[in-house]
Structure 1
């Protein structure tokens, strides 16, 4: 532990009687104040990334691309690393734990705990890669602990909201999208990648490619099957969700942002706040669990690597408690 970290530790011990929220704020302030000091003044001369840094970063993204990281995730990693290097003017090999703490401390002024943990997760992945590939000897993220988040239970759509969404669809594509998302519990990125050939109508099954381009089977119910067939009509191949107008003589596949905008517009017409596609995924998962489906079965449908991710949907909200209480009498 270096001198500056000792200073922070001693300071925290002295203010230990304060509430945890105050201690956290004071610690962040202290990290920011002492960042420019090596107990004596710390040099702030800019250190440009050398060619080695550039090659390391290129290698990192090449490996992640090969591992199947999605384009949106790669963009998120790029944005985060650019943000780090803009605040910490050091070569990659010289970045220490205190530098990362300083970066997270200044980020905490405008970022939520969830966002800070996302930043921490990306940096952990990056520096773990550097350590494994022996670009660095010491991983600066080893002592950076997860930030405590305020636990909020995110509610699914209610039955009334779901019906309002259905009533607010203005064409067959809207209807197919709503029922597909509700029945399968797919991520919006998975939905935009589905081809008509991926749907086995006789088995009510759909082949999708999730994170890491991993293939899995999801299921459509009778209502979704009808709406999808009404939408595709005579089409027998190609993208499931397409543009309304031709471009260069053909219909184009809708991307994630386009499908998200379509769904958001449906929500606005329905008068529902916070209406987004992922909430439909949550609704499907919650309904499945409340109907008695096992947690590991829901995990397989949703395509979660870690079952702990699935347990988020098993959180009991007060409406569920109330419903079960009413059934007692």
Structure 2
């Protein structure tokens, strides 16, 4: 079973070209299934059935695994069995028809508009790190990039004269995003300093030694600025969430926000509609002809 799992992971890496992060997540989830099979004396993938898998999901849930984590595990199992069926190793999918226990859907944490402006509009020291960090923050908030999209960004993907950036998102899908005026200015100031570090490659964001910044380094810098400017924990995804919720609040165009975020399913984007209900209620009260619900003689 482990040998066939290794072959599947090789298939994901070489043929499907999934990212190392995604591959690691798949392997981690499927290793849980493998450990369960070992404990239950299940010796082949063909012998694992829906009852076994339901039992595993129930145990994981009891141990505190979130609905989202269990959904990802089931998705990993479906992917594995699609491969095993194609290879003639199995003729079934034990995850077919299974869904994880429903859990509470946590709303993403965001900065309100005033806090976002406080973060971005502070004084910037005229040095390499300060200009680089400002460009990173501005681009996250301006264009809603994922952390992986920003770390993988190369110079040829930026078109500052047109105010555009092309990013490589999940599933190797590319999308072109607008870059706001403030972000363009920050990037121009950073690029003027970038060359001083003798870049090793075409990476937009590099260290003082000229090497491409990795995800951990960027997370660390964002956290540092958040503590200094706002006195709170800040991470790249919070800036992406803030971008999405502020844009939706102003535009009310869910489909456009979906496209900008690169969400394959609009249900993923719909979580942001919960964040701005108060704004929607205010708009409704002021705009709808029969919405004067408070203090009116015509209710």
TM over 0.5: yes
1:264 equivalent to 2:217? Answer no
* Runs of 4+ residues over 6 Å off in structure 1: none
Specify every segment of 5 or more residues in structure 1 that has no aligned partner in the other structure, as ranges: 1-48
Matched residue count:
272
Alignment of 1:87-98 (within 5 A): 87-89=36-38, 90=42, 91-98=44-51
TM-score, scaled relative to structure 2: 0.82
Match of 2:100 among 146, 158, 168: 146
Would you say the 8 A contact 1:204–1:221 is kept in 2? yes
TM-score w.r.t. length of structure 1: 0.75
Indicate the residue corresponding to 2:256 in structure 1.
297
Q: How does 1:97-136 map to 2 (within 5 A)?
A: 97-108=50-61, 109-136=63-90
Cross-structure match for 2:198: none
* CA gap 1:273/1:168 in 2 versus in 1, 3 angstroms: farther
- Is the CA contact (8 Å cut-off) linking 2:222 and 2:236 kept in structure 1? yes
- Cα distance in 2 for residues equivalent to 1:290 and 1:161: 16
Secondary structure in 2 matching 1:88 = helix
User: Is structure 2 residue 10 aligned with structure 1 residue 59?
Assistant: no
Gaps of 5+ in 2: 196-200, 293-299
- What's the CA shift string for 1:215-257, capped at 9, x where partnerless? 211111110011111111155772111112x2xxxx1001122
Q: CA deviation at 1:67?
A: 2.0
1:203 CA drift (Å): 0.5
Q: CA deviation at 1:59?
A: 3.1
Cα contact 1:168–1:266 (8 A) shared by 2: no
Q: How does 1:41-52 map to 2 (within 5 A)?
A: 49=1
Alignment of 1:1-329 (within 5 A): 49=1, 53-54=2-3, 56-65=4-13, 66-89=15-38, 90=42, 91-108=44-61, 109-166=63-120, 167=122, 171-233=130-192, 235=194, 238-244=202-208, 246=209, 251-271=210-230, 273-292=232-251, 294-321=253-280, 323-324=282-283, 327=286
Q: Is the 8 A contact 1:156 1:279 kept in 2?
A: yes
Structure 1 residues 269 and 160: CA distance shift in structure 2, 3 A: same
Return closer, same or farther for 1:58/1:125 CA change in 2, 3 Å cut-off.
Answer: same
Cα 1:174–1:235 change in 2 (3 A) is closer
Q: 1:63 to 1:269 in 2, by over 3 A?
A: same
Match of 1:118, SS?
helix
Q: Take 2:231 and 2:95, find their aligned partners in 1: how far apart are those partners?
A: 41
